[in-house]
Structure 1
């Protein structure tokens, strides 16, 4: 690319209402631990990661916020991949995290993806995909 370095995805940020509740969910659901916590006067940033990827999830906690965030109709979802989708679905179910139904997406009979969705405490959707093909 003409000697120009490519951009590297490093994190995605979501705003959450209750730090402890979100930390517990992301630890139980995806084994995400705090990589760094930056506390400021008006807000706190918490970066979460695990050993599977360098990519991080940044939680922003605005200290004066008391009302849940309105996610509107612009937010889609985060996505993670797992090596055994059925086992992961069962584990999340047993943990009481209420994963959605397993979906095999095969338009016109062509397999595109095998996945389910789970919702975090603030209403953010996370797609959990069977690892393989373009979903590494």
Structure 2
């Protein structure tokens, strides 16, 4: 008798942020993420954000004694969100003052692979917003 294989479930990604209020406001306005849980500890606070479209969460870590911006280094890439209407979302981001970069499209073998734009959160973390299409649907 063989044991059942359990597939790991992705549950969250964590970033360190300077200002909880500023970051929660950005992720709420940009992606509809709301606070699912908030856990203050001595020296730091953990804030878990999510929306109704997924159980995956973004964990914000706020170190209470931190006053300088974090060095994002050259190892962090981005987190990505898929949306139904990339043009409408891009316009909404612009109206919200979130400074989205221009919409771009990648083609492969003559077909659209991805249509997307990037935006940066208040701490400079890059976020890719993709049109639901193909593998990104």
TM-score by length of 2: 0.95
RMSD (Å), alpha carbons: 1.3
Give the CA deviation at 1:110: 3.1
Q: Report matched runs for 1:87-106 at 5 Å.
A: 87-106=88-107
Q: 1:111: Cα distance to partner?
A: 1.8
Paired position in structure 2 for 1:127: 128
Partner of 1:5: 6
Q: Which residue of 1 is the match for residue 38 of structure 2? A: 37
Please say if 1:54 is aligned against 2:55: yes
User: What number of residue pairs does the alignment pair up?
Assistant: 136
Q: Distance in 1 between matches of 2:106 and 2:55?
A: 28
Partner of 1:17: 18
The two structures have a TM-score, normalised by structure 1, of 0.96
In the alignment, structure 2 segments of 5+ residues that lack a partner are: none
After TM superposition, what 4+ stretches of structure 1 lie above 3 angstroms from structure 2? none
Cα distance in 1 between the residues matched to 2:37 and 2:15: 15
